[in-house]
Amino acid sequence: MSRHVPSSEITPESAYLSRRQLIAGLGLAGGAALAGCRPGDGGALPAGGPGSASEGALAPSPPPGGGDRPATDELGDALTSLAAVANYNNYYEFTTDKERVAELAAGFVADPWAVTVGGMVEKPRTYALEDLMRFPMEERIYRLRCVEGWSMVIPWTGFPLSALLAEVEPKADAKFVRFETVLRPDAMPGQRRGGFPWPYVEGLRIDEAMHDLTLLATGLYGRDLPPQNGAPVRLVVPWKYGFKSIKSVVKIDLVAEMPTSLWMDSAPDEYGFFANVNPEVDHPRWSQASERRIEGGLKRRPTLPFNGYGDEVAQLYAGMDLTTWF
Ligand SMILES: Nc1nc2c(c(=O)[nH]1)N[C@H]1C(S)=C(S)[C@@H](COP(=O)(O)O)O[C@H]1N2
Ligand SMILES: [Mo]
């Protein structure tokens, strides 16, 4: 059983980039020329977004609110191209083959959509996609560090999860937040195969969920989220390994006990609840000391504690034993 095999270490980046980026790159150039616009000028763009089959034609749109998109994150690291962000994916509900998620997810219907928020809250509520889209959106450029040892820099569109939680009013004894991905085996071939206890489940402690860095993302590169990236709404928790950033969320519950995530359930010796990025605590089967930045060349770079967000989040874990990454 392939349990989060670091296939980035098996499939050389050059192999997928040469094939995939050629295709995506052609679509991008052609689309921009057809629409008569440069990326970022706010003009018409090729059709895309949730449910679109034209994944090859994805082109960046301006950030919400307009203006220019920085070329780097706050550390000076270049953004990963949209072509790579949208064609190198972990989404096991479709397939464990990162290069095939986009094509298998292309017809996924992400609209209409509903996210039910309940559990230990004063005002349980089901949010339609339109309701979520009414939150003030911002663009956040975050590093995404997969537990497998690769990373990207992605401009997300979204809003802090805390804004949604404030509306439903968590009760005082709610200590954790539990998230669930849609269960749709008809549309998700990976859910038709055995091996994982679907649906995908993740969780955060409530102070982690309330932290301003924690986003509910509805887009990337100024566009609706592509299906392969978790359309129409996914969590983004940038200081934790990527598997915490659960895709295509349909259920959010405030709970008293620490939720058991899909990864804790299927491989408890390898994946824990907190999963904060930590270069000093190796995965049982590989080192976490360094990582490979997608499109960053062959040289590995040192992994940063909390993925470089330690100034913002380290205090959440004061007094906790961080020598175990669980
Ligand atoms: N529902 C669901 N969410 C998921 C996953 C998944 O397989 N299913 N994979 C996770 C992993 S391991 C990573 S690294 C990120 C990848 O997000 P991306 O494809 O948008 O880069 O999504 C996370 N969220
Ligand atoms: Mo991951």
Distance 186 CA to ligand 1 centre (A): 20
Residue 30 lies in a domain: yes
222-255 residue pLDDT tens = 999 999 999 999 999 999 999 999 999 999 999 9
283-298 residue pLDDT tens = 999 999 999 999 999 9
Q: What is the pLDDT of residue 47?
A: 38
The dihedral formed by the CA atoms of 141, 202, 182 and 213, expressed in degrees to the nearest 10 = -20
Section 308-318 average pLDDT: 98
Question: What residue's CA is closest to ligand 1, atom 24?
Answer: 246
Residue 321 lies in a domain: no
Question: What residue's CA is closest to ligand 1, atom 15?
Answer: 242
Residue 316 lies in a domain: no
pTM: 0.87
111-160 residue pLDDT tens = 999 999 999 999 999 999 999 999 999 999 999 999 999 999 999 999 99
| Burial of residue 135, with CB atoms counted within 10 A of its CB: 0-12 exposed, 13-18 middle, 19 or more buried | middle
DSSP state, 69?
Answer: P
Residue 1 lies in a domain: no
Q: What is the pLDDT of residue 54?
A: 46
Separation between Cα atoms, residue 190 and residue 175, nearest integer Å: 32
Distance 206 CA to ligand 2 centre (A): 22
- CATH code assigned at 248: 3.90.420.10
Q: Are strands 234-236 and 215-220 parallel, antiparallel or unpaired?
A: antiparallel
Distance 86 CA to ligand 1 centre (A): 12
Total number of domains constituting the chain: 1
Q: What is the pLDDT of residue 324?
A: 74
Q: What is the pLDDT of residue 6?
A: 56
Distance 144 CA to ligand 2 centre (A): 9
Instruction: Choose between 246 and 23: higher pLDDT.
Output: 246
Ligand number with the minimum distance to the CA of 148: 2
Question: What residue's CA is closest to ligand 1, atom 1?
Answer: 247
Q: How far is CA 207 from the centre of its chain?
A: 20
Residue 325 lies in a domain: no
Separation between Cα atoms, residue 43 and residue 159, nearest integer Å: 24
Q: What is the pLDDT of residue 325?
A: 59
| Burial of residue 86, with CB atoms counted within 10 A of its CB: 0-12 exposed, 13-18 middle, 19 or more buried | buried
Residue 318 lies in a domain: no
Q: Which domain, by its residues, includes 289?
A: 7-311
> At 301, which helix (H) or strand (E)?
strand 301-302
Residue 320 lies in a domain: no
Q: What is the pLDDT of residue 161?
A: 99
Q: Is 148 in the pocket of ligand 1 (CB under 6 A)?
A: no
Q: Is 90 in the pocket of ligand 1 (CB under 6 A)?
A: yes
**Average model confidence (pLDDT) across the chain:** 87
Residue 116 lies in a domain: yes
Biggest CA pair distance of the chain: 57
